[in-house]
Amino acid sequence: MNQPKPVQLSPDLWQIDLMEQGLPCRTAAYLILDEKPTLIETGSALSHATLVQGMAQVGIAPADLAYVIVTHVHLDHAGGAGHMMQQAANATLVAHPRASRHMIDPSRLWQGAQSVYGEQLPKLFGSILPVPEERVLIRNHEETLNIGKRTLRFFDSPGHAKHHFTILDEVERALYAGDAVGIRYRKCFTGWDFEWVLPSTSPVDFDIEAIHRTLDMLQKVDFDTVYHAHFGASPKDYAIAETKRCSDAFAHLIEQVYRPEISVDEVIDHLRRWVATDLLQQGHQVGDMGVLDMDMFLDAMGLMHYQSRRAR
């Protein structure tokens, strides 16, 4: 499939489809063309060439970047950061305090991903490269970064991952949310005739109490639009409400069905049935659910880890 053209969201903001794992409308990077050009998310190493090509289509080369920001260190968001930083010689990588060490030395991050994906890891995400420590800038909760006419503000946003922040752009009245405010399933990804938001409960940091704290905090922040890494824009109130509602349902589901010997396939089956039933109750006609296979697997693994931790 040909690479989709970058989408101009505003005069200074572009959305680039990273074609993660060859799939359209799966993972997005956001490019802000302010005085200090700033890239939010890099995708995995396998998306690097696609990202560079997309940037070129809007007239930006890696060497033009002042900042590269990763919302958290999951490989579909930050696996390609080291590759980008090798080319973006003038850029600083901006990361959450818990994420920075994994960007500087990604060995533990890679080992953790191997425990989830096994031998499929290189095929799914490529490789990962370290970023020199002196080129990494940590942003703590409510710290800011001026990039020209806008000043970005960072919010510690755990629940999906402990190493996750979200980024407020007051000029756009938008929040670059990574995975903290759910996944927006787009028609161009699923092939279905509707779109909806569902949380991502991938291993190993899903925490329902942290999700509530994060979403309650973000509800009080003044913005209109959530820009999901997966994928595109949702209205703020809808994204927050659906992420909270479905997270609660997932946490309740795993509490009801969990036992120490339960298999991931059994949890996936429960999740599939819940999602299909919920969408039907909303009046949607559900298509082939095979498109959700990867997410159902990761969500099931994360829920099992969450419940086993609670049981201990």
Sequential DSSP letters for 147-193: -SS-EEEEEE--SS-TT-EEEEETTTTEEEEETTT-EEE-HHHH-SS
The pLDDT value recorded for residue 115 is 86
Q: What confidence category does residue 202 fall into, taking pLDDT thresholds of 50, 70 and 90?
A: very high
Give residue-wise pLDDT tens across range 204-219: 999 999 999 999 999 9
The mean per-residue pLDDT over the stretch 152-175 comes to 98
Write the CA distances from 8 to 57, 70, 110, 201, integer angstroms.
11, 20, 34, 30
DSSP letters for 230-249: TTEEEEHHHHHHHHHHHHHH
The mean per-residue pLDDT over the stretch 12-20 comes to 97
Give residue-wise pLDDT tens across range 168-201: 999 999 999 999 999 999 999 999 999 999 999 9
Structure token pair of residue 94: 């901006």
The mean per-residue pLDDT over the stretch 274-287 comes to 96
Give residue-wise pLDDT tens across range 21-35: 999 999 999 999 999
Which domains are present in the chain? 7-245 (3.60.15.10)
| Position 1 pLDDT exceeds 90 | no
The pLDDT value recorded for residue 108 is 92
> What is the distance of C-alpha 102 from the center of its chain?
16
Give residue-wise pLDDT tens across range 75-123: 999 999 999 999 999 999 999 999 999 999 999 999 988 988 888 999 9
Q: What confidence category does residue 138 fall into, taking pLDDT thresholds of 50, 70 and 90?
A: very high
The pLDDT value recorded for residue 3 is 83
The pLDDT value recorded for residue 293 is 95
Higher per-residue pLDDT: 44 or 1 = 44
Structure token pair of residue 182: 């759910």
Q: Could you tell me what percent of the chain has a pLDDT over 90?
A: 94
The mean per-residue pLDDT over the stretch 245-259 comes to 97
| Position 18 pLDDT exceeds 60 | yes
| Position 132 pLDDT exceeds 80 | yes
User: DSSP secondary-structure letter at 258?
Assistant: -
